[in-house]
Structure 1
Amino acid sequence: MAAHRFHHSPDDVPEAAPVFPLSGALLLPRAELPLNVFEPRYLAMVDDALAGERVIVMVQPDESKPEDDQGPKLFQVGCLGRLTQFAETGDGRYLITLTGICRVRIGEEVATDTPYRQFRIDATPYGDDFEDGVGEDEVDRSALLSALADFLDANKLEADWDGIRSEMLIAITQMMLARMPGGDDGEPSLQ
């Protein structure tokens, strides 16, 4: 069964997408992430997403590296989300909900004239994100929850423990690994 009616496989994912680097905001496949959008560049991003494919990539900024002229450095794995709820407030903000589609590898930045950043993305390594239940039987849930609790506590993040399914735990583990220092080349290990 496909995870989402608009995106059934990595082939359905756009080649490039707008990126929302927001520290502490973690979007997972099939999960919902409510966001309060108020910065003008991200208001423009939401407007453009609504007028287009309605997708945005959530990714963590890599705060261990200095920003450059384009903005913060980013971790190389994010989650593509579909804009599934939208409301305007009386003070110019947007209240939106993104529903996670799949993890994506962040590629090269795309040169645009938009006030927000856009990157090439690749969902191919995460094709299993499109299938319900893949890998659930192989998860040591209690050990993974313990490791996740330690990780979230160390990074001052919270989780809805009752709502986390085993397939989400697999995705969380991969994202945790993406935030950890890697080998000699500095790349995170996503084995």
Structure 2
Amino acid sequence: MTETPDFLSNEFPRRAPPLTELTLADIPPRVGLFPLSGALLLPGGHLPLMVFEPPYVALLEDALAGRRMIGVIQPLMDPDTDEHPLLYRTGTLGRITEFAENVDGTFTVTLLGISRFRLIRESQTDRGWREGVIDATPFAADLVEEDPLPINRDLLLNGLKTYLDSRDLQASWPLIEDMDDETLLVVLPMLVPFTPVEKQSLLEAMTLDERAGLLLDLLERGMD
């Protein structure tokens, strides 16, 4: 009989369960907030970040010492002109899946989108970063794998091509065409250069079907 390796034993519980086992019960009621204007992290998406400002370096260090989760949320005002901008009420909980400390003390990290959340209230910590009381219950479906969603790929990809051409932007079409429908609906909203308000509307779309319709509408409006 083969013994279970010590590193898999329940005697050494993890701070956060494996990604495939995450449930609403694993979502912390409080999370450090990373305000990022124009940044969109959707559940299932990957967001690379360079972290260099002291409060957010501290946030990252604290997150790495805990559940490795950070709340990505957009500010309502321009953070370059407002030191403490108000925040949108909906953000995304990201789990740190890759990180590297650079020689200058900055960090390069990748966040994996876990679930969206509602921001109930927030406060400033003595470490300089903002902490939010959150509720992920309205987005419980983010933690459940959805059935494949039929979308009009030709219409969507043609809309994307026209949108990019109108802005003299390039795309890796073989890579895009190999994506399944659900991946397209995660990757395209994150990568297409929509405005912060448009990205927020894509984040707040409750279902993939609603997101698909809004994405196509934004691409078509962007051609004007």
What is the TM-score of this pair, normalised by structure 2? 0.62
CA distance in 1 between partners of 2:199 and 2:127 (Å): 27
Q: Choose 1 or 2 for highest CA Rg.
A: 2
Counterpart of 1:61, as a letter, is: P
CA distance in 1 between partners of 2:128 and 2:87 (Å): 17
User: How many Å apart are 1:25 and its aligned residue?
Assistant: 2.0
SS in 2 for 1:26: coil
The answer to whether the aligner puts 1:137 opposite 2:149 as a matched pair is yes
Deviations 1:109-129 (A, max 9, x none): 145323010101111111111
CA distance in 2 between partners of 1:108 and 1:176 (Å): 21
Matched ranges for 1:81-120 at <5 A: 81-110=94-123, 112-120=125-133
SS in 2 for 1:5: helix
Counterpart of 2:149, as a letter, is: D
Counterpart of 2:20, as a letter, is: R
Change (3 A) 1:5 1:167: same
User: 1:39 is matched with which residue: 49, 53, 58?
Assistant: 53
CA distance in 1 between partners of 2:137 and 2:72 (Å): 17
Change (3 A) 1:83 1:16: same
Change (3 A) 1:44 1:162: farther
Given that 1:104 and 1:123 are in contact with CA atoms closer than 8 Å, whether structure 2 keeps it comes out as: yes
Matched ranges for 1:168-187 at <5 A: 169=185, 179-180=200-201
User: How many Å apart are 1:104 and its aligned residue?
Assistant: 1.1
Given that 2:44 and 2:186 are in contact with CA atoms closer than 8 Å, whether structure 1 keeps it comes out as: no
- For structure 2, the residue ranges without an aligned partner over 5 or more in a row are 1-17, 191-195, 211-224
CA distance in 2 between partners of 1:74 and 1:143 (Å): 34
Query: What percent identity do the matched residue pairs reach?
Result: 37
SS in 2 for 1:19: strand
Structure 1 counterpart of 2:11: none
Q: More helix by proportion, 1 or 2?
A: 2
**How many residues are paired up?**
175
CA distance in 1 between partners of 2:117 and 2:153 (Å): 24
The CA RMSD measured in Å over matched residues stands at 3.7
SS in 1 for 2:19: coil
User: How many Å apart are 1:75 and its aligned residue?
Assistant: 1.5
User: 1:56 is matched with which residue: 62, 65, 70?
Assistant: 70
User: 1:126 is matched with which residue: 132, 139, 142?
Assistant: 139
CA distance in 2 between partners of 1:120 and 1:86 (Å): 25
